[in-house]
Amino acid sequence: MRLLVLLATALLLTVEAQAQVYAPYEEYDGYGGYYYEDPYSPYPPPPYYEPAPRYREPLYDRRQPSTRGARGTIVIATREHTLVYTTASGEQFAYPIAVGREGKQWYGTTRVVSKRMHPEWRPTASMRQKNPRLPEVVKPGPANPLGTRAIYLADGLLRIHGTNDPSSIGTNASSGCFRMYREDVEELYDMVQPGTRVIVQW
């Protein structure tokens, strides 16, 4: 009888020991019950696993226009950081933008007077006075704050342009101009012509 009790106890201990080997599941996830990033896993990644997409600028963060503009008009909603262009046929394109910092914002109606591909940037005299390290001119290239396209408005200083700082889009960051992602400003550049009406709203 004592022998049977000893055998039963040994059997229970063996089962518990085996259970302890397979008990932890902390590193398992929802992919079919195994952790696909475990380098020691005997299983391949599940067939439905898709790697995370590569980082891309949110170039096409297209927005639902909250304002209606006349055909052939650009409407800039400063508070919403959005530029809406309504084509002559009535199609609308809405783009995220950066606008002027507090105290540097302008509101009113103007028009496109000219356009330039790969523009030079010439800091104003007041900019250079505040920051003497600024050069007289910045040639086209990755360091150019105007990016690859510039659309000049009536006063000649206010512009819609690209940027070398895409992280600023959606913020109040500029000295009054309107910054756009590169692909967006290049698309807008191809559509608008001198004479296009531009309405800048709060």
Indicate which residue of 76, 84, 177, 198 is catalytic. 177
72 CA to centre of own chain: 27
- CA distance readout (Å), 40 to 37, 46, 47: 9, 15, 18
How far is the C-alpha of 79 from the C-alpha of 60, rounded, in Å? 19
How far is the C-alpha of 148 from the C-alpha of 120, rounded, in Å? 9
Q: Which distant-in-sequence residues (6+ apart) come within 8 Å of 110 by Cβ?
A: 153, 154, 155, 158, 197, 198, 200
Indicate which residue of 81, 115, 159, 161 is catalytic. 161
- For the question of residue 118 being annotated catalytic, the response is no
Q: What is the dihedral of CA 155, 120, 162, 72, to 10 degrees?
A: 40
- For the question of residue 177 being annotated catalytic, the response is yes
How far is the C-alpha of 171 from the C-alpha of 99, rounded, in Å? 7
How far is the C-alpha of 11 from the C-alpha of 59, rounded, in Å? 65
Q: Which amino acid belongs to residue 175?
A: S
Residues with active-site annotation: 161, 177
